[in-house]
Structure 1
């Protein structure tokens, strides 16, 4: 009888310890999740933030369906470096100005909330103008060489051949652009733009299909404070119109040759 009593006592002690173990397990799980979230927030705020490309304004450099990392530290930090752009401080800290030719993400100056991505063309104090399809900076025509053709979509969604050029900025940065309307587009002849101090002039590489600083009311000059970061690397890319969640289609829809490629 005593032996049976000992067995009954040992069995009755196990349920008493179980809730404590369950509570510890839940606590540890919650702690790990909170730590992971904090690490993700720090990385996104201070180091790198992922973006995807929804439009063709930077074709042929960036394509619709590209996913890329933007370095947040490249230009220092402003309120736009934080999620939802809280007005905690003005200006930038650890500031470094964008360089001519950088592809950068910035907050649209007209609403300070929409993310835009374009190439830095004009620096503070520069003059910028398009004349017969040719880019002029500070009165000098920017070098441009023919580089074949590129298949692009026109304003009606039809596939057409666009003329491709390699353009080289005064600081030596070189990249491809396309002229869908062969130097006869609406924005191929513009007024003379004078970039204000503390601002930058941004343009897309798809010159006839880019809403950029040439449209002063839509974009205009971009304040340094509005810069989010510099585009660094394409880490994933899907064909235009493909769905990312359909992983079984990836062998056919992923642009494998674009994965982990640097951005010029």
Structure 2
């Protein structure tokens, strides 16, 4: 409810600004000046008077899409009053209510004479009209794509091998944003298609200084609508990285994709690199392959490119010693490990499992005073590592948990970041929102998201629980798959570039080894893309009687 109330306040403010800066213009067009203040109807009148589709007015206040459409409508209005020069259009876009107010209150502002027929236009005027028509078509195409991107589905690329061999490095997916209910946008003023930043400056320093793709000051609270389902065990889920400290907006944090291995109320555990939920071994689905990290010692150098061509994904680190070569292979299945063991150069091969009771803690500096929580096992006060982890109970909405020095590392981010409370420590006492606290009631469900390639995955074992508000949706299908599209930093070998035709337009979230094909969707998109203009022209000819 807070979302829609905040949204309504923004609409009222924008409508007031629109009315104050254009009411005289509406009067000169023959309308009651009050209509300039009426949300949606003010833009409906502009579209009607400038001979554009009137239903576009419905898009005027949508998050992300609305600011684009408003700029277009403002330009239409200014052209109606003869303000069509490039600098005037730029002022309309970047200083809309200021420039429109200048035009509105100017004594010499008059409607442009539109009585001239096209046959009396000069060649320059005809070219300008064609240019406006072309720009209008491009603008609407961008707006249509933005609507799909914001409100329906979002493309997502796989840059790392954490989900091998289920999702490959270089797979590009379409994510269904309605899988777990639609999460409404939290930053309504943003550049379309960009996640968090416009570009990476590449300069040393704080990444928070990189230019943002959204206006952080215009914000809306978390709200999810039509939530008929929640993430279930074994779902592949796209979510926003919880501990992204660069972006304050939840929906602008970096997107991650992992498998949901435990839901709210479950107990998660790793025993010797094997995953257990509620004391039971994990269920391995048809599209999963159990894989582990191996250390291989050889007498001579291995032919890694040939092995890559045979087995596909094979990230490896190579080290030469006086006794031979040592290879660290990430993500070997039992079969691939057996095949490599049988190679004549191999002296020894063993699974790389960390010692039980050895805490995985990393530091930001050599003095070892500041712990790097993004690389350390969560929570940092437990003697756990990625192979021996837990048991850890996943918080559930309504749970009442004890808060003390021992449990605080586990619940700190939940209390202060995910559920937006003021958390303080004073001596041995903990304060939440200024009140001393020994317990805390969890306000939303949390999930454990782990990569299928367990030994090469920065996942919930490092960054902790994933809040429900960070959930984006489920991948639907792979629309493109490019081997070699991303550089794999975990490997000393770069895979050659090629298109994986066999993976394109295949379902990604069924759990089945044989995936359904979605080629018919690709064909439909191509028909719409290339046939749309033809059908529009055909329709116009039929209605105008043109030959």
Q: Deviations over 1:186-208 (max 9, x none)?
A: 51211211111211110000011
CA distance in structure 1 between the partners assigned to 2:254 and 2:497 by the alignment: 32
Query: Between Structure 1 and Structure 2, which shows a larger proportion of helix residues?
Result: 2
Q: CA RMSD in A?
A: 3.3
Query: Which residue, out of 229, 236, 246, partners 1:103?
Result: 236
Q: Is the 8 A contact 2:267 2:393 kept in 1?
A: yes
Distance in 2, matches of 1:181 and 1:122, equals 29
Residue 30 of structure 1, aligned match among 129, 132, 135: 135
Following superposition, the deviation at residue 29 of structure 1 comes to 1.2
Q: Which residue of 1 aligns with 2:390?
A: 191
Partner Cα separation in structure 2 for residue 81 and residue 75 of structure 1: 17
- Tell me: CA distance 1:77–1:132, structure 2 relative to 1, closer, same or farther (3 Å): same
Please report how far the alpha carbon of residue 78 of structure 1 lies from its aligned counterpart in structure 2 after TM superposition.
2.3
CA distance in 2 between partners of 1:181 and 1:117 (Å): 29
Aligned counterpart, 1:122:
262
**3-state secondary structure, aligned to 2:478:** strand
The CA deviation string for residues 204-257 of structure 1, in whole angstroms up to 9 with x for no partner, is 000111011111xxx2111111111211111111112579xxxxxxx9711111
How far apart are the structure 1 equivalents of 2:290 and 2:458?
A: 24
* Cα gap change, 1:107 to 1:147, in 2 (>3 Å): closer
Bigger shift: residues 106-115 or 153-162 = 153-162
| 1:126 CA displacement | 0.8
Tell me whether 1:42 sits opposite 2:147 in the alignment: yes
Whole-Å Cα distance in 1 between the matches of residues 147 and 284 of structure 2? 41
Unaligned runs of 5+ residues in structure 2 are 1-117, 188-194, 197-213, 245-249, 292-310, 320-326, 335-348, 355-384, 397-444, 488-495, 512-547
2:225 is equivalent to residue 93 of structure 1: yes
The answer as to 2:253 corresponding to 1:253 is no
Instruction: Mark the CA change 1:97 to 1:60 in structure 2 (over 3 Å): closer, same or farther.
Output: same
* Structure 1 Cα separation of the partners of residues 236 and 142 of structure 2: 29
Q: CA deviation at 1:79?
A: 4.7
Asked if 1:226 corresponds to 2:470, the answer is: yes
Structure with a larger share of its residues in strand = 1
Residue 91 of structure 1 deviates from its aligned partner by 3.2
Match of residue 63 from structure 1: 168
Partner of 2:314: 152
Name the stretch that deviates more: 152-161 or 29-38: 152-161
- 8 Å contact 1:239–1:255 — kept in the other structure? yes
Confirm or deny: 8 A CA contact 2:331 2:453 kept in the other structure: no
Structure 1 residues 252 and 214, CA gap change in structure 2 (3 angstroms): closer
Match of 2:294 in 1: none
Structure 1 CA distance, aligned partners of 2:331 and 2:267?
Answer: 27
Q: From the CA coordinates, give the structure whose radius of gyration is larger.
A: 2
In the TM superposition, residue 98 of structure 1 has moved relative to its aligned partner by 1.6
Q: How many residues align?
A: 228
Give the alignment's TM-score, normalised by structure 2. Answer: 0.38
Distance 1:192 1:163 in 2: 26
Of 53, 70, 74, the residue aligned with 2:179 is 74
Instruction: List runs of 5+ in structure 1 lacking aligned partners.
Output: 1-12, 166-179, 244-250
C-alpha distance in 2 between matches for 1:148 and 1:78: 33
- Seen in structure 2, the aligned counterparts of structure 1 residues 129 and 81 have a Cα distance that, compared at 3 Å, is farther
Contact 1:67-1:237 within 8 A present in 2 as well: yes
Question: C-alpha displacement at 1:28, in angstroms?
Answer: 1.3
TM-score (norm 1): 0.74
